[in-house]
Amino acid sequence: MDDGGTQALMNAFYAVLQGKNMKAEALRQAQVSLITGDYQTLGEQRGSVIVEFVGNTVPPQVRNNLNHPYYWAPFILIGNGL
């Protein structure tokens, strides 16, 4: 896996997880944000941080392909997801 894609997903995951205690839903929302490219669904402030990270830190060849399953599909939760 590419570190830039992993970092984008984990940033989105932990941004969602801050406001909630449900890991499964946080992972789902983070994956959907990478698939759709709509980071504002994570919340205005959190989404802006992710957009800035993706725009400034992630290499263009990764940034333009974050919707590909390579970047978000390998992540699963084991346990109750709470």
Looking at the domain assignment, is residue 23 inside a domain? yes
Number of domains observed in the structure of the chain:
1
Number of CB atoms found within 10 A of residue 71's CB: 22
**Which range marks the domain in which residue 47 is found?**
3-69
Q: Is residue 76 part of a domain?
A: no
Is the predicted pLDDT of residue 75 greater than 80, yes or no? Answer: yes
**What's residue 1's pLDDT?**
46
- Give domain status of residue 48, yes or no: yes
Q: Rounded to 5 degrees, what angle do the CA atoms 78, 72, 4 make?
A: 115
- Write down the pTM of the prediction: 0.78
pLDDT digits over 15-37, tens only?
888 867 788 888 998 899 888 88
CB atoms within 10 A of CB 69: 10
Evaluate whether residue 54 is within a structural domain: yes
In a domain, 43, yes or no: yes
Q: Is residue 49 part of a domain?
A: yes
**Assigned domain for 80 exists:** no
DSSP 70: H
Report if residue 28 sits inside a domain.
yes
